[in-house]
Amino acid sequence: MAVGTACLVAGLGASAARFGSWRAAAPMPIERTEVAAAALAGRIYVIGGFKMFFAGGVTNAVQEYDPVRDLWRDRAPLPEALHHTAAAALDGKLYVVGGYRDLWPWKPMATVWRYDPGVDRWEPRRAMPTPRGGLAVAIVNGKLYAVGGKDGQVFTTNEEYDPVADSWRSRAPMPTGRDHLAAAGLGGKVYVVGGRVGLMSRNLAATEVYDPATDRWEARRPMPTARGGIAAIALGRRLFVFGGEESAGTFAQNEAYDPATDRWTAMAAMPTARHGLGAAAVGGKIFVIGGGVKPGASRSNLNEVFDPGS
């Protein structure tokens, strides 16, 4: 059984074309999965997740990676241990939104935490209207958008946060409800990709774009590979989507979307297939960190760097 799973994991990434290149970087100090990650001021922060799968396994660890020195260090821990949370950088601060508490049953949270790297301190901000985990966040024009997620039911929810007013408001819901999705801001719009409807067997390829100026959604060309448990990052004029899982294995896929042409391109596959990973971009490179190499309860400290080239 283990041999069959390993073969399938390798096969899920085997069809990717060789655009771009990968290299290994310093691994995280601890292995974990279902993390959140974001880049701020040239550093990458990896937050929360599972470090093990028994009592005390949900972590509040926050670790900072310096890509120039290829070094990690611990920072002030999150005030609560969370997994399946989401993170983004905005106006020199790091925001961590939603997620689940506890190993089982998972308790969906609405909490919002703001981190100031200058003083290495967290503070609470106004909670989201809708508690949920497995959501995604994106930044557009100084606002944070929290989309999708799950709390027993799978959400189409789209809520906008204004950091200046410390306030939330509901916006037009996503056409496709989903959790374990990914999102990124690009060209003044929010791009939402992949995810699933509750179960690994119900992965989605849907790509939808939200325009805050008109409060409207529209469908775009679906991803070539339906998958949830993914990470996505905007770099240059493209959106890159990494990894994922289904019940039979994890994905090594790395697919890039160009909004100008509404086309997807298969990029060089990840060296290590995984799900529940984080991704952040610094200096024109994308750092893909942590995650599980097997579906469900597995973890890693991997730090693999993708250079998309021109």
Percent of the chain residues past pLDDT 90, beyond the cut: 93
Q: What local confidence, expressed as pLDDT, does residue 13 receive?
A: 39
- Which tops the pLDDT comparison, 7 or 282? 282
Least confident window among 2-6, 25-29, 40-44, 56-60: 2-6
pLDDT in tens, 226-262: 999 999 999 999 999 999 999 999 999 999 999 999 9
Least confident window among 46-55, 153-162, 174-183, 271-280: 46-55
Q: What local confidence, expressed as pLDDT, does residue 4 receive?
A: 30
Q: What local confidence, expressed as pLDDT, does residue 229 receive?
A: 99
Q: CATH fold of 2-9+28-282, please?
A: Neuraminidase (2.120.10)
- pLDDT of 1 over the 70 cut: no
Judging by beta carbons within 10 Å of its beta carbon (0-12, 13-18, 19+), is residue 18 exposed, middle or buried?
A: exposed
In the structure, how many helices (H) and strands (E) does the chain have?
1, 30
252, 243 Cβ separation under 8 angstroms: yes
Q: What local confidence, expressed as pLDDT, does residue 7 receive?
A: 31
Question: Average pLDDT of the chain?
Answer: 95
- pLDDT of 18 over the 90 cut: no
26 — pLDDT class (breaks 50, 70, 90): very high
Tell me the residue type at 102.
D
In angstroms, the CA 286 to CA 269 distance is 13
In angstroms, the CA 115 to CA 86 distance is 13
- pLDDT of 10 over the 80 cut: no
In angstroms, the CA 250 to CA 170 distance is 34
Q: What local confidence, expressed as pLDDT, does residue 14 receive?
A: 34
Q: What local confidence, expressed as pLDDT, does residue 245 receive?
A: 98
In angstroms, the CA 5 to CA 175 distance is 34
Q: What local confidence, expressed as pLDDT, does residue 310 receive?
A: 72
- pLDDT of 132 over the 80 cut: yes
- pLDDT of 8 over the 70 cut: no
272, 289 Cβ separation under 8 angstroms: no
55 — pLDDT class (breaks 50, 70, 90): confident
In angstroms, the CA 180 to CA 238 distance is 21
pTM value is: 0.94
Neighbouring C-beta atoms of residue 84, cutoff 10 Å: 28
- pLDDT of 6 over the 80 cut: no
58, 276 Cβ separation under 8 angstroms: no
Q: DSSP H helical segments within 127-214, as ranges?
A: none
Distance of CA 180 to the CA centre of its chain: 8
